[in-house]
Amino acid sequence: MAQKVITQPRDFPSVEELLGTPEIAAAVARLPRPVAVEIVRATIADCKARLQKTGKPIPWPEFLSAVTNALSRQGRREVTRVINATGIVIHTNLGRAPLAPDVLDRVAGSVSRYSNLEFDLETGERGSRGAACEEYLALLSEAESGMIVNNCAAALFLILNTLAARKTVIISRGELVQIGGGFRIPDILKRAGAKLREVGTTNITTPGDYENAIDSSVGLILKVHKSNFVQAGFTQEVSLKELVALGRKHGIPVVNDLGSGVFLDTQPTLGYREPTVQQSVRDGADLTCFSGDKLLGGTQAGLIVGRSELIGKLKKNPVYRALRVDKIVFTALERLLAVYLDGRAIHEIPAWKMLTVPESELYKRGKQLLADLGTPPGVSVEATRALVGGGAMPESEIPSVALIFSSAFKAERLSRQFRDYDPPIIGRVEGDRFLLDLKAVFIDELPIILDAARTVLTAQSTPSS
């Protein structure tokens, strides 16, 4: 079928011939056949164009490699498991918080068959979607009521569209933050139909700034927690309690957007106190919204807690139907919130288990990895600093330990080699060194890292100078 060297267009095999070769068949099997056919056809066309342009013959192995690489690239675009050795525990690009096995088991058991998602087993009639989940959320947050939409931006949009459409929203200029993906708070306000009224300055906002901005057009006061950046130096902001007092004085609801919501005291384990959802409720926020897949440790969702009257209004907004979540999210969050209510979050939620692993334990794991590798030259185990990630607690670095490949190796090449492993291992480059940080690595992933490191080191044989 094939020539040892392709010298002219007619030397190229047909798509069907190529799909039948043993070298290609294995790569094709991992993809839907129509997708594989299109990739093979496009690669043949590219190689033909290159041949006609340059006139340079294409060796058959080189041609096969081009096809298999193209198929492999497509397979790697699909969502797949990776090992997070970046040192960022809640990594936005790597799926944020991993789910607990118990949560996944509950999801699998409920959604692989029919469920009572909107069916009342007591009355035999239509029920309320996610009723138990919302009850757990309200109980855990100490609020009157709770509800869930598909992410925190959606939660804020729904709140603004319901309570402040064609009305004014007051917010401190220092809280006009940009969240992931380039979305900005002012843009969300505008799309929700609200009018922005900035008060204060970038670094200083006082109670008087809010008081002076209040008139009959104001629909709500919005406070946005600066969860993904830090202001330091000559700064002042108005506390939530002060805003609540001001809101009640004028009959204006106060909404607190916490961003990455947390229910646990972070001071003992992370050395920095992130405001909790419960504290927001205790301080009197009429509504509080936050994310489900960050420090909470669950699936992507926007959670809203607060006064029952306002939650009821949100649910009556027609926009709510476009923002509501499905059975998978409700089932996962229901189980997750139950874990919190039972006081087992630190021990059972993966993100919190990782965040609380002692540095001494990470050293033990790292030293064992190094010993099993045979303590190769240019590879060491050293202390490093990890991050919470996910736009949460930006000033809280966590002690960690990493397997470090020195500048004797080419860091970018190592990064690519570990990414090409199956499953891909994502580390980080610092200067001219490559690090595999162990903070967010599951303990059962250590043998995979060991095998990958052996493979990479064997391929290199000696470090590049």
The pLDDT tens digits for 133-174 are 999 999 999 999 999 999 999 999 999 999 999 999 999 988
Q: Which runs of E-coded beta strand occur in 225-292?
A: 254-259, 287-291
Query: In total, how many domains does the chain have?
Result: 3
Q: Which amino acid is at 36?
A: A
My answer on whether 422 and 312 are in the same domain is no
Residue 249 in domain = yes
pTM, whole model, 2 decimals? 0.88
Residue 1 has pLDDT above 70, yes or no: no
Q: What is the pLDDT of residue 367?
A: 97
Residue 82 has pLDDT above 90, yes or no: yes
Q: What is the pLDDT of residue 28?
A: 82
Q: Which domain holds residue 404?
A: 83-94+352-460
Q: What is the pLDDT of residue 183?
A: 72
The average pLDDT across 21-44 equals 88
My answer on whether 51 and 168 are in the same domain is no
pLDDT digits (tens, 9 = 90+) for 425-462: 999 999 999 999 999 999 999 999 999 999 999 887 64
Phi, psi of 283 (to 5 degrees): -75, -5
My answer on whether 275 and 301 are in the same domain is yes
Percent of the chain whose predicted confidence (pLDDT) is above 70: 94
- What are the beta bridge partners of residue 126? 119
Q: What is the pLDDT of residue 204?
A: 86
Residue 30 in domain = yes
State the pLDDT confidence band at 395, using cuts at 50, 70 and 90: low
Residue 293 has pLDDT above 50, yes or no: yes
The average pLDDT across 32-51 equals 92
The average pLDDT across 76-98 equals 92
What's the chain's average pLDDT?
90
Residue 392 has pLDDT above 70, yes or no: no
Helix (H) or strand (E) holding 83: strand 83-84
In which residue are the tokens 């004028």 written? 250
pLDDT digits (tens, 9 = 90+) for 369-383: 999 999 999 999 999
The average pLDDT across 257-267 equals 90
My answer on whether 289 and 424 are in the same domain is no
The span from the CA of 436 to the CA of 362, in Å, is 12
Q: What is the pLDDT of residue 2?
A: 46
pLDDT digits (tens, 9 = 90+) for 324-345: 999 999 999 999 999 999 999 9
My answer on whether 451 and 378 are in the same domain is yes
My answer on whether 160 and 133 are in the same domain is yes
Q: What is the pLDDT of residue 284?
A: 97
My answer on whether 220 and 243 are in the same domain is yes
CATH number of the domain to which 374 belongs: 3.90.1150.110
My answer on whether 258 and 394 are in the same domain is no
Residue 162 in domain = yes
Residue 389 in domain = yes
Q: Is 263 in a helix, a strand, or coil? A: coil
CATH number of the domain to which 299 belongs: 3.40.640.10
Residue 228 in domain = yes
Residue 465 in domain = no
My answer on whether 225 and 286 are in the same domain is yes
My answer on whether 88 and 68 are in the same domain is no
* Cis status, amide bond into 318, omega within 30 of 0: no
My answer on whether 300 and 191 are in the same domain is yes
Q: What is the pLDDT of residue 330?
A: 94
- Of 43, 77, 111, the residue that ends a domain is 77
Q: What is the pLDDT of residue 234?
A: 63
Q: What is the pLDDT of residue 381?
A: 97
Q: What is the pLDDT of residue 464?
A: 47
> Across the chain, which distance is largest between two alpha carbons, in Å?
85
My answer on whether 142 and 218 are in the same domain is yes
pLDDT, greater one: 68 or 230: 68
Cβ atoms within 10 A of the Cβ of 116, count?
12
Q: CA dist 101 to 85, 299, 322, 344, 464, Å?
A: 20, 13, 29, 14, 42
The average pLDDT across 3-23 equals 85
Residue 16 has pLDDT above 70, yes or no: yes
